[in-house]
Structure formats: C-alpha cells, structure tokens
Amino acid sequence: MLNLMMPGNPRYQPKSLQPYFGYDYLYQPAVKVELAVMRTLGEMGVIPAADIALLTQEVVEKLLLISTTEVDKVEKEITKHDVRALVRLMMQEVLPEPLRRWVHIPLTSYDPLDTARSLQFVEAHSMVVRLHMRKAISDLADKTEEYASTVQIGRTHGQHALPITVGFWLATILNRLVSNAREMDRFASGLVGKISGAVGAHNAQVGLGLFANKNGELFENLVLAKLGLNRAFISTQILPPEPLAYYLFSVLMTLATLGQFGRDCRHLMRSEIGEIGEPFAKGQVGSSTMAQKRNPMTFENIEGTYLKSKAEFGKVLETLVSEHQRDLVGSSLMRDFPVMVINLVLQLETLLREDKGQSFIRRITVNEAALERNFALSDDTVLAEPLYIALQMAGYSGDAHEIINRHIVPAAIAGDCDLTSVIENHLEHQPKLAAAWANIPAQVKRLLRNPERYIGDAKEQALAVASSAREFVRS
C-alpha cells in the first residue's frame, strides 16, 4: 500500500495534491528527468539505437512506479545517498542490462532533484491550483455582482466609517485574488530546471563531448524541452533560488488574501453584527456545551491557514543563501516547501466544498435586516464627512471639520437626530454657518438627508471588478 502522506499536518491534506506531493510519488519527477536524459543521449547517438529501443513504455511505467519507500530502504541499508539509491533501483531492478550503465550519465544529484522539484510545482499548479483559483474567483464574482447595490456600513479601526456596499467589500477581496492568481501563473511559468553538473559549469558535458548535438543545440536544452521546462540562465550545483521563491511568495500572498476574507467574514458573523453567516451543516454543533452557538469555524480555519503558512515561508528565505556552489543545509528545508501549496489548496477546497450543487462561497448568507439595523446605528452621524466638505466648498471661512466634530455631531447624538437638523437649528446663532449653508446646492442637501445614497461609486467598482474577474477566468 502506498504512503501518500504529504508534508505538513496530516489533518490538513487535500487528496487532489497527492499525485504531486504524496510521499511515495516524490521520485516520479526525478525518474522523468533521468528518462529525458537517456532519451536525449539516444537521439544524439551516444546510447546505441538498439539499446535505447529497449526503453519501452512497459519499462517506463515500471520505472515510474519506484516508490520513495523503496528508495529509502536502499538508501538506509546500502548507499547512504538518496539519488544513488534511486539509480541503483533503476539499474538493478527495472532497466534491461544494456541500458543500466547509462543511468545518471552525465548528471549530478541535483540535476534530477532540483529539476524534479520545479516539475512538481509546475504540474501541481497547472492541474490543481490554477483550476481551483479560477472556480473560486468565478463564484466570488457572482457574489460580488449579486450584492453590488446592497448598502453596508463601512468600518475602519473597528468603527463605523462611511457607507459602502457588500459587493464593494467583496470586490476588494476579489481584486486581490485575481492579482495574486496572475502572479502565481506568471511565476509558475518561470520555474526552470538544470542539467549543468556538479558545479553548474557543464564540466562533464563539455569535457566528454556531450555539450551539444550536431546541430549545435545544447544538451541541457534538449533534455529540459522534453519536460516542458526552460533552463536556468546559469546555475551552480543547485538552481538559483529566486524562481521558486517568487512562486511560493505569490502562493503566500494568495493565502493572505483568503486570510483577509476569513477575518472579515468571522467578524461580520459576530452575534452583535450578524451581517454574514457561514453554512451550518446538518448535525454540526458549535460548542461541546453551548448548544445555541453557531461558530465561524470555516472562516477561522481559513484565516488560521494563512497564519501557519507565514512560518513556512521563513524556510524559503533560509535557502536563498548557500555556501559557494552548494551545501546540504537547505535540502531538508526544501522538503517542506509544498506545505504552502497544500495549505492554499486546502483553503480553496474549503471554499469550493459543495452541498446540493452549491459551493461554500455561494452558500454564504448575507443578512440584509442586520445590514439595515447596523447602518441605522450611525445614519444620524455618518454624513459628517460630506457635510463638513460641503460647508468648506460653500464658503464657510472657519474650520468646518472642527465645528462638526466638536459641536454638531455631539448635539446630533444627544438629540437623536440627523446632522442637517442640528445645523439648521444653529443657523440663527451662526451667521457664517448660515451663509455657507445657503450656498450649498439643493441636490447636496438632499444627499445629506439620505445617508444610504452616500456610497460613492461602490456599486460601479464592484461590478467592474466582477467583470474583470470573469475576463481573467476566461483567459
């Protein structure tokens, strides 16, 4: 039975990534690199045609079945070296005798290992991450459009600020998701491989006549083309760390965006706010003792998944420096690099989890009664901003912000009335204020009595972001 455990906590491991990061599959991409090298040597005539013809599909399939557990056993008992253990299994257990001497020629260990790592991330991104991102973006775009006009009180510093719409809030998340998805695609396409030898200078290839074929095409390029990778412009025994680091940073940024969504939602789900609700499954409980509770469990987990991923990126930073052409310090750290991708896919699959044909995102509820109730808590004073600006623009010669802040707002709160009513009650005692008030256009005064209309272009921005997101998904 295969061991498909992936790096990280076994509680949080999406099965969709097992073909790429499952433990017993970890040497598959390295075998693919070794096979690409052998085929290239065959095309160059280095391996005789009769010998390379023995590399049949049946043999290839057996090679790809070599498990990490088998490699571990040979490494621990015999070679004390992982790649030599893999080579030994390929040579002694699977390959026909004429091909055995050609395994790992003219490579160093990190030619297949580093190239395989790039291949792992490229394939996982293409087959899982990219598809999940587009589905989540599409579902969130639907939600953004649906609530583009639904008024919500904006919040800064945990306090009521200015009116927005629910769609505008969702659009701020959606736009970040699209931006990060673009960056992940870009950096995934920039992942590279290397077939450059023990110090990166192609020593064996140049010295033994393997550097290029008769047409001048580089051996390294020919091998990597078979794997769908470009080569690093220059490398040491290991790949330059930046391409993978940038990709993993874009993954972390996406984790952070979803963490922002989780944080927003769990706060908006607070009992005293209640504007957002997450689906509550049949049989689900919110507390082991308080039967009335409906906890934001999913939103908490989504935010928490980002928090634990931050520490994982520290491992990436540690591998940006190595001694000279290579040391072994970073190799153990790099085994944990998939954790960030695993965590991101966990977030995405949580948000895409379906019930009765609808994803979790689509099943998030918006309580419009709570939105109206919360908005009403501040509707008397929420228009302090346009009131003070309108007064200054209408010619008020003093500090309109000061008089609104110190006098008008406290009076409105004390009298449980709107700001314009307080202003009008002060006009006979404030000639400069009265003059400015008289100069304010009638349509602005109407706005000042209808705070729910003071949403700027929140609706238009929400719809524009949703439209842009759909274009991205179609691309």
> In CATH, what number is assigned to the domain containing residue 32?
1.10.275
pLDDT at 430: 86
pLDDT of residue 425: 87
* Model pLDDT, residue 25: 97
Domain boundary among 81, 106, 131: 106
Q: Report, as an integer, the average pLDDT of 330-337.
A: 91
Please tell me whether residue 371 adopts helix, strand or coil conformation. helix
Final residue of a structural domain among 106, 141, 174: 106
Whether residue 43 is found in the same domain as residue 157 = no
Pull the structure tokens for residue 461.
């921005």
Amino acid 326: pLDDT? 87
CB 376 within 8 A of CB 388: no
Produce one character per residue of 251-266: b if its CB has 16 or more CB atoms within 10 Å, e if not: bbbbbbbbbbbbbbbb
Instruction: Indicate whether 249 and 390 sit together in one domain.
Output: no
User: 338 with 420, same domain?
Assistant: no
Rounded to an integer, the average pLDDT of 349-359 is 94
**Is 199 in the same domain as 139?**
yes
Residues facing 365 on adjacent strands: 277
Instruction: Output the six-digit token pair for 170.
Output: 């969702």
pLDDT at 281 over 70: no
Reading the block at residue 246, the tokens are 């940038």
Asked if residue 76 is part of any domain, the answer here is yes
Helix residue ranges, H only, 394-430: 400-403, 409-415, 419-426
Which pLDDT belongs to residue 284? Answer: 64
Q: Residue 83 in 3-state DSSP?
A: helix
Residue 292 has pLDDT above 90, yes or no: no
pLDDT in tens, 75-100: 999 999 999 999 999 888 899 999 99
Q: How is residue 280 written in tokens?
A: 């509550």
Q: Tell me the pLDDT tens digit for each residue of 201-259.
A: 999 999 999 999 999 999 999 999 999 999 999 999 999 999 999 999 999 999 999 99
| Whether 325 and 416 share a structural domain | no
Domain with 162, as residue range(s), is 111-279+291-372
The token pair at 447 is 């706005």
Q: What percent of the chain has pLDDT over 90?
A: 85
Query: Would you tell me how many other CB atoms lie within 10 Å of the CB of residue 365?
Result: 12
Residue 139 pLDDT: 98
Which amino acid would we find at residue 94?
V
Residue 9 domain flag: no
- Rounded Cα gap, residues 382 and 453, in angstroms: 11
Report CA 159 to chain centroid distance, whole Å: 29
> Distance of CA 289 to CAs 298, 354, 375, Å?
19, 28, 33
Separation of alpha carbons 47 and 42, rounded Å? 5
Domain assignment present for residue 430? The answer is yes
Q: Work out the percent of the chain whose per-residue pLDDT is above 70.
A: 97
SS3 165: strand
156 & 47 share domain: no
The answer to whether position 271 is within a domain reads: yes
Cα separation values, 35 from 100, 114, 250, 417, Å: 12, 15, 31, 79
**244 and 318, same domain (yes or no):** yes
CA angle, residues 37, 197, 77, in degrees to nearest 5: 80
pLDDT of residue 291: 55
Domain boundary among 64, 88, 106: 106
Tokens 């699209």 identify what position? 178
CATH of the domain at 345: 1.20.200.10
Q: Quick one: 84 and 161 in the same domain?
A: no
Neighbours of 70 (CB within 10 A): 16
Domain count for the chain, please give it.
3
pLDDT of residue 44: 97
Residue type, 249: F
Residue 287, pLDDT above cutoff 70: no
Q: Which of 199, 309, 214 is nearest to 253 (CA)?
A: 309
Block residue for tokens 């076994």: 10
Strand, coil or helix: 160: strand
Question: Higher model confidence: residue 426 or residue 144?
Answer: 144
The yes-or-no verdict on residue 419 having pLDDT over 70 is yes
What integer is the mean pLDDT of 108-123?
Answer: 97
Give the pLDDT mean for 114-125: 98
Q: In this structure, are 219 and 326 located in the same domain?
A: yes
Tell me what the pLDDT averaged over the chain comes to: 94
pLDDT of residue 46: 97
Residue 188's closest CA among 237, 133, 145?
Answer: 133
Residue 428 has pLDDT above 90, yes or no: no
Beta bridge partners of 354: 359
The verdict on 266 and 317 lying in the same domain is yes
Q: Is the pLDDT of residue 126 over 60?
A: yes
Q: Are 238 and 114 in contact (CB under 8 A)?
A: yes
Q: What is the pLDDT of residue 10?
A: 92
Asked if the structure places residue 472 within a domain, the reply is no
Q: How far apart are CA 82 and CA 75, in angstroms?
A: 6
* pLDDT surpasses 80 at 289: no
Residues 197 and 214 grouped into a single domain: yes
Looking at the fold, whether 42 and 123 belong to one and the same domain comes out as no
Written as six digits, the tokens of 350 are 């949580």
Short-list 381, 447, 319, CA closest to 160? 381
Residue (of 212, 231, 20, 208) closest to 111 by Cα position: 231
pLDDT for the residue 207: 97
Mark out the alpha helices in 216-276 (DSSP H runs).
219-227, 242-268
| Residue 460: inside a domain | no
Helices (H), 157-241: 166-189, 203-207, 219-227
> Is the pLDDT score of 429 beyond 60?
yes
Q: Domain for residue 474, yes or no?
A: no
Question: How many Å from the N-terminal Cα to the C-terminal Cα in the chain?
Answer: 40
Question: E-strand spans in 292-379?
Answer: 354-355, 358-359, 365-366
Given pLDDT bands bounded at 50, 70 and 90, which one contains residue 297? confident
Residue 458 covered by a domain: no
